[in-house]
């Protein structure tokens, strides 16, 4: 499968020039804290001393999961198409937040077990994946198509920022399986309560996911792991992350499930992580450990456990603020404010 090359790293002087500009803004050295690091990251992603965000696109990647027939979620499978209709009608959390933040919202049907909803983008692979506890969730050819669909979708979208969202009952299970295989951590440390399983539900989920790992030991290469354990929405999203990073777009990562797509993309095309801003630490138990393993620090920690791209939308104003501060704040020189040069 042909994956695009990532852009060359920004020329070495750029980071130094941006840091110099930040250090000479009218504030105590470093006083804007992690917003300064964010401004620097955005500059490096865009290869520009004046990063600017245009026409941000929030995409909700939606699909159904064979595993959702095995009692791994607190909610029934039909909720996936029902929530997609709700998102398109403007009533879901992500619909409200996208409107509130001025984000263009698209819903991509990557393989929901219901007819295509009016207004959704048709990236359907099949009506839900197969049951991963009995073998691969999808064929290698399906995984390739999903990656291709995700890349092609980004090509068609305007702007230079992609905010990741998802909808798919059962997709915390797929994300947990991917986490186990991509990090090597024990499965129990990769599994959480998702939509709100009680203790008995969590034990059942863990047992089903153990079966899924045992049924897919043959999968070794990243693309095989994607096919064996992925959901259509997660693999499609991974394709979009790779294309976005290749085009120097900023990728805003939401919670646990979008982290799975980004980790998969990083396994397929090492280096994409540099283009990713992690919006928040989800309350889904294993998310914190996965973020640590990826050596990334999320912007927010609000006990969100919704998905949909809700955390990405909530973090968005921090990115635009970082660009505005870098572009518009006066320097000590221009404002005539006394200072000592940083050591
Ligand atoms: C009404 C409703 C709206 C949602 N919006 C996002 N999710 C989130 O919950 C699901 C993952 O959790 P699990 O693996 O436990 O099924 C995904 O659809 C995710 O986007 C929702 C879930 C529900 C029930
Ligand atoms: O963090 C997430 O993405 C998440 C957590 C629980 C349920 N749905 C999504």
List the catalytic residue out of 11, 166, 308, 333. Answer: 308
Task: From the CA of 258, give the closest atom in ligand 2.
Answer: 3
Ligand nearest to the CA of residue 196, numbered in listed order: 1
- What local confidence, expressed as pLDDT, does residue 343 receive? 62
Residue of the nearest CA to atom 22 in ligand 1?
A: 195
308 is catalytic: yes
Indicate the top mutation candidate among 60, 74, 75 to test ligand 1's pocket, ranked by most ligand atoms within 8 A of CB: 75
Helix (H) or strand (E) holding 105: strand 104-111
**Residue 73 beta carbon below 6 angstroms from any ligand 1 atom:** yes
Cα 28 to middle of ligand 2, angstroms = 38
Task: From the CA of 175, give the closest atom in ligand 2.
Answer: 3
In contact, 8 and 44? CB cutoff 8 Å: no
Cα 133 to middle of ligand 1, angstroms = 20
- What local confidence, expressed as pLDDT, does residue 342 receive? 61
Q: ∠ CA 271-110-1 to the nearest 5 degrees?
A: 45
**Residue 149 beta carbon below 6 angstroms from any ligand 1 atom:** no
Instruction: Give how far Cα 213 sits from Cα of 16, 76, 133, 182, 222, Å.
Output: 46, 23, 7, 12, 15
Q: What is the ipTM of this complex?
A: 0.99
- SS3 of residue 6 by DSSP: coil
* pTM metric for this prediction: 0.98
3-state helix, strand, coil in the chain (%, to 5): 50, 10, 40
Ligand 2: residues within 6 Å at CB?
Answer: 172, 194-195, 254-257, 282, 284, 287, 305-307
- What is the C-alpha separation between 227 and 246, in angstroms, rounded? 23
- What local confidence, expressed as pLDDT, does residue 11 receive? 85
Indicate the top mutation candidate among 75, 164, 263, 305 to test ligand 2's pocket, ranked by most ligand atoms within 8 A of CB: 305
Cross-strand bridge partners of residue 250: 161
**Residue 109 beta carbon below 6 angstroms from any ligand 1 atom:** no
**Residue 284 beta carbon below 6 angstroms from any ligand 1 atom:** no
**Residue 208 beta carbon below 6 angstroms from any ligand 1 atom:** no
For residue 343, the 8-state DSSP code is -
Per-position pLDDT tens, the chain of length 343:
889 999 988 888 999 999 999 999 999 999 999 999 999 999 999 999 999 999 999 999 999 999 999 999 999 999 999 999 999 999 999 999 999 999 999 999 999 999 999 999 999 999 999 999 999 999 999 999 999 999 999 999 999 999 999 999 999 999 999 999 999 999 999 999 999 999 999 999 999 999 999 999 999 999 999 999 999 999 999 999 999 999 999 999 999 999 999 999 999 999 999 999 999 999 999 999 999 999 999 999 999 999 999 999 999 999 999 999 999 999 999 999 998 876 6
- What local confidence, expressed as pLDDT, does residue 9 receive? 81
**Residue 85 beta carbon below 6 angstroms from any ligand 1 atom:** no
Cα 215 to middle of ligand 1, angstroms = 25
């Amino acid at each position: 499968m042909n994956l695009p090359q990532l852009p060359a790293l920004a020329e070495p002087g750029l980071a130094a020039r941006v840091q110099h500009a930040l250090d000479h803004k009218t504030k105590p050295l470093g006083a804007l804290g992690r917003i300064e690091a964010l401004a620097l990251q955005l500059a490096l992603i865009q290869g520009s001393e004046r990063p600017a965000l245009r026409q941000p696109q929030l995409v909700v990647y939606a699909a159904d999961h064979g595993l959702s027939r095995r009692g791994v979620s607190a909610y029934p499978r039909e909720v996936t198409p029902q929530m997609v209709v709700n998102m398109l009608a403007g009533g879901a959390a992500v619909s409200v937040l996208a409107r509130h933040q001025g984000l263009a919202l698209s819903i991509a049907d990557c393989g929901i077990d219901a007819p295509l909803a009016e207004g959704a983008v048709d990236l359907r692979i099949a009506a839900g994946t197969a049951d991963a506890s009995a073998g691969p969730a999808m064929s290698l050819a399906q995984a390739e198509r999903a990656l291709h669909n995700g890349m092609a979708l980004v090509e068609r979208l305007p702007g230079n920022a992609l905010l990741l969202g998802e909808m798919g009952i059962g997709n915390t299970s797929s994300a947990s399986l991917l986490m186990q295989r991509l990090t090597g951590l024990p499965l129990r440390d990769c599994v959480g309560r998702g939509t709100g399983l009680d203790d008995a539900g969590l034990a059942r989920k863990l047992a089903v996911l153990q079966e899924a790992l045992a049924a897919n030991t043959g999968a070794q290469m990243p693309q095989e792991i994607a096919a064996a354990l992925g959901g259509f929405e997660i693999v499609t999203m991974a394709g979009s992350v790779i294309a976005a990073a290749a085009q120097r777009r900023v990728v805003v990562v939401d919670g646990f499930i979008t982290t799975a797509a980004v980790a998969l993309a990083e396994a397929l095309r090492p280096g994409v992580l540099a283009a990713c801003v992690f919006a928040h630490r989800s309350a889904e138990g294993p998310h914190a450990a996965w973020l640590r393993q990826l050596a990334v620090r999320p912007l927010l920690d609000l006990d969100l456990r919704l998905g949909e791209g809700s955390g990405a939308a909530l973090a968005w104003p921090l990115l635009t603020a970082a660009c505005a501060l870098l572009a518009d704040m006066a320097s000590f020189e221009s404002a005539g404010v006394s200072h000592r040069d940083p050591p």
